[in-house]
Structure 1
Amino acid sequence: MPALKKLRESGYKILAVITAPDKPVGREKTITPPPVKITAQELGLKILQPPKLRGNSQFWDELKSLGDIGLGVVAAYGKIIPEEILELPKFGLLNIHPSLLPKYRGASPIQAVLSNGETETGVTIMKLDKEMDHGPILAQKKVEIKPNEKYPELSERLSEIGSDMLIDILPDYFAGKIKPAEQNHSSATLTKIIKKEDGKADWSLGANWLYNTYRAFYPWPGLWTEWEGKILKIIECSPDDAVITAKADTGALAIDGGKLGFICGKGFLIVKSLQRAGEKILSDSQFIQGYGKLIKKIP
C-alpha cells in the first residue's frame, strides 16, 4: 500500500490496481476486500480482481483495454505472473521483495528471518521473470532487525523502505541508467507458505528459539500449544534462558518465581498473556487465578 500511495504522490499515472478477490474473514465469514483494494478505492483507481491469472481470457482483455502499459509494480501479490503478462509492459514488472535476495525467496521471507533469529534483513527491487523471485536485481538495502520486533512492525518498516527505494530508482531505470544484476542463484534459499501448524510450539527447543517463532508468527498463526484439551495461544511472552529445569518437565506450564511460563528444552518461556480457544485473552495473573491448581510449581 505504501508503494501505491507514493507512486500516486510522485505523479505517476496508475492505469489499474490488480489484487486478489474479496474473501470471507473471521468466524462470521464476512466478505472482506484486500487492504490494497480499500486504498485504491480511496484514490479513485480502477481495480481488477481476477480469481486466476493463467488462462483467464477476460482478465487478459481487461489488461489490453488499458492501452500502453509502461511498467508493472508487484508487492506481496503471492502468485506467479504468467510470461505473457510479464512481457506486456514496456519496462517489465518490478517486484518489491522484503529480503536480501537470493536469500529467502518465496512466500514468507519476513517470517523466515524472524524465526531463524536473524539480526539483519533487507529489501530488494528486482525485475520479474518467469521463475519465483529469480529475476535480476536493480537495488538492495540492508535493514537491521530490532531485538523484539515482531512480524507486523518489521513488515510495515520494510514496506515503507521498499516504496521509497522504488520511487528513488524509477527515473534512472526509465532512463536506462540502471543495469539489472543477475542473482547468485547457487546461494538462493526458499521460504514456504505459512500454515496454522507452523505455530505449534516444540517445547524441546530453547526459549530464545521459541520466542523467535512467536515474533515470526504473530498475530497469525501465533505460537500455540495444546493444554488441558484445548488449544492455548500465547499472546505475549519473553524468553529466560537462565532458568534451569528438569528435562522431564519439558512442555509443562509452570510458575517459577511468581512468573508463568512454559518449560523449554533450554530455559523458560515467560508468558504474560494467553488465550484458550473460544475464550477471552487473560493476563498471567488472571490465568493463574483461574487455573492455578493445574499449573506446575517450580521449587
Structure 2
Amino acid sequence: MDKLKILFMGTPEFGATILYALATAPHLEVTGVVTQPDRPAGRKNQLSPPPVKVAAQELGLPLMQVERLRNPAVQAQLLEFSAGAEIFVVAAFGLILSVAVLNMPRLGCINVHGSLLPEYRGASPVAQAILDGKTETGVTIMLMEKGLDTGPMLSKVAIPIEPEDTQPSLMDKLAKSGATLLLDTLPRWVAGQIIPEKQDDTYASITGIIKKEYGLIDWNKTVASIVCMIRAYYPWPGTYTFWQGQNLKIIGATAFQEKVAESATPGTVLLARVEGKECVLIATGKGWLAPRELQLPGKKAIPALEFVKGQRAIIGARLGDGQEA
C-alpha cells in the first residue's frame, strides 16, 4: 500500500509534536514542512528558529519558511515545493491560508485545532479555555475552508483541564492527544470511512491574538478569575500589576476563598499566617490570592515570601495602576 504523502504546516511546539508523530508513522510520508521565519527572542533579541523548523531539521525534511501566503510569487513557490503532496496538514501554523493554497492538494487541507469546535475558534483557544475556568477542552480534526476554523469536523477528543494546568502544560496534552487522533483519522478519512460533520455556528465563539496588555491584573475581580488569568497567560504575556510605579510580575498563585484575614481594599498586600505557615496574600474583589513568585524589572523571579521580606514596604501597600493608595 502506498504511503499517504503529506505537506505539514506549523510553527510552535504544538506543531512540532504533531510533525514528529506524522514523520514517524509507517503509513505516512511527510514530503516537506512549511513554517514561519526565525524571530527575535530572549533579552538579547537573537534570532530563534520556531520549534517546527528545529523538528524538520532533526528529521531531515525539506523546509520552507514564509512570512505570509498572500503573495502570488510565494504561492507559486509553495505549489512547486508541495508537488507530490496529496494533503496538507496544518497545526498552529499562525498564518491564514488563502483559497488558492487550500485548493492546492488533491485531498484538501486538514487542521488540528486545540478546542472542541465550534467553541473557541481562532488564535488562542487553549489560553481562553483556561481563562474561562473550563474543566474540559479538546482537539478537533477538521477540513479547512475559507472561514476561520469553520470547516466540517472529522473527529474530536475531549481532554480534562486540571486545576494546575497552565497554557504550556495543557498545550502539551492537547498536542499529544491531537497527534494520536490525527494518525487514527487520516487513513479513515482517505478511505472514505468518515462523514464530515458540519459545525453548528450558533454555538461558535472566537478567540483573538493575545496582547501584552491583557496580562494587567484587575484586583477588583474574584480570586478565582485572577488565578485562571495567571495560568492562562503563563509564560506569555505573563500577569503583572504595579507597585511604586514599577511593573511587578506575578508568576503562579493559589486562591483562598475562606476568610484568612480581615477584609481589605482589593490589591492590598498582607503578610499572614495560614495553617501555621507564613505567607503573602493579596486582597481581591472576592477572596485572597497567594502569589508563588514575584519579579521586578531586571530582577530574577523569587518566592513571594522571600520577595516581601526583602521589600518590607510592600506590606500594607495597594497594588494597582502605578499609584499607591
Q: TM-score range by the shorter chain?
A: over 0.9
In 2, distance between residues paired with 1:124 and 1:272? 34
The residue aligned with 1:7 is 22
Q: How does 1:41-190 map to 2 (within 5 A)?
A: 41-190=57-206
In 1, distance between residues paired with 2:239 and 2:74? 42
The residue aligned with 1:264 is 284
Q: 2:306 is matched by which residue type in structure 1?
A: Q
- Change over 3 Å in CA distance of 1:104–1:141 after alignment to 2: same
Q: Equivalent residue of 2:164, what SS?
A: coil
Q: Equivalent residue of 1:15, what SS?
A: strand
- Change over 3 Å in CA distance of 1:44–1:260 after alignment to 2: same
Q: 2:197 is matched by which residue type in structure 1?
A: A
TM-score, length basis structure 1? 0.95
- Change over 3 Å in CA distance of 1:10–1:25 after alignment to 2: same
The residue aligned with 2:56 is 40
Structure 1 alignment gaps of length 5 or more: none
8 Å CA contact 1:106, 1:132 repeated in 2: yes
The residue aligned with 2:38 is 22
Q: How does 1:172-251 map to 2 (within 5 A)?
A: 172-243=188-259, 249-251=265-267
In 2, distance between residues paired with 1:156 and 1:54? 30
Structure 1 moving runs of 4+ over 4 Å: 244-248
Write the deviation string for residues 154-197 of structure 1: whole angstroms up to 9, x where unpaired. Answer: 00000000010000011111111111111001110011110111
Q: 2:156 is matched by which residue type in structure 1?
A: Q
In 2, distance between residues paired with 1:61 and 1:285? 56
Q: Equivalent residue of 1:13, what SS?
A: strand
TM-score, length basis structure 2? 0.88
8 Å CA contact 1:102, 1:134 repeated in 2: yes
Q: Equivalent residue of 1:249, what SS?
A: coil
8 Å CA contact 2:90, 2:111 repeated in 1: yes
- Change over 3 Å in CA distance of 1:118–1:291 after alignment to 2: same
- Change over 3 Å in CA distance of 1:54–1:197 after alignment to 2: same
In 2, distance between residues paired with 1:188 and 1:66? 32
8 Å CA contact 2:261, 2:272 repeated in 1: no
Write the deviation string for residues 25-65 of structure 1: whole angstroms up to 9, x where unpaired. Answer: 12211011100000000001111111110124144234224
8 Å CA contact 1:98, 1:124 repeated in 2: yes
The residue aligned with 2:308 is 288
In 1, distance between residues paired with 2:81 and 2:282? 58
8 Å CA contact 1:69, 1:88 repeated in 2: no
8 Å CA contact 1:244, 1:266 repeated in 2: no
Larger deviation: 117-126 or 237-246?
Answer: 237-246
Percent identity over the alignment is 37
Q: 2:20 is matched by which residue type in structure 1?
A: K
Larger deviation: 276-285 or 105-114?
Answer: 276-285
Q: Quote the offset at 1:247 in angstroms.
A: 6.3
Q: Equivalent residue of 1:149, what SS?
A: coil
Q: Quote the offset at 1:262 in angstroms.
A: 1.3
Structure 2 alignment gaps of length 5 or more: 1-15, 318-325
